[in-house]
Amino acid sequence: MKTSPMALGPNRMKNLSEYVKTAEAAQILGVAQNTLRKWAEQGDIPVHRNPANGYRLFKREDLMRFLKKIDQSSKSGS
């Protein structure tokens, strides 16, 4: 799933509580922050930018979907 990073305008980011910064997202996924940044750059996981400060933001829903995808692929690949 290739998704390029996209900057969201203020009217498209309605609920910031749905998003987490890189450190929290990496913790949720159990990986290093640099690994998460690499995955985002490669389009493996969707990343958004905070319109106010440019920080990377990851939607909680996308993180859960990514974990589920990884879990399914590990079960079928074993």
Pairing of the two strands 48-49 and 6-7: parallel
The Cα angle at residue 15 between residues 47 and 26, in degrees rounded to 5: 35
Position 30 pLDDT exceeds 70: yes
**Closest Cα to residue 39, out of 16, 13, 70?**
70
Q: Is the pLDDT of residue 72 over 80?
A: yes
Domain boundaries, the chain: 15-77
Per-residue pLDDT band for 8 (boundaries 50, 70, 90) equals very low
CB 40 within 8 A of CB 5: yes
Mean pLDDT check: name the lowest of 13-17, 44-48, 58-62, 68-72.
13-17
Kindly indicate the confidence band of residue 75, based on its pLDDT and cuts at 50, 70 and 90.
Answer: confident
User: Does the 15-77 domain belong in CATH 1.10.1660.10?
Assistant: yes
Greater confidence (21 vs 5) lies with 21
* Tokens encoding 32: 């290093």
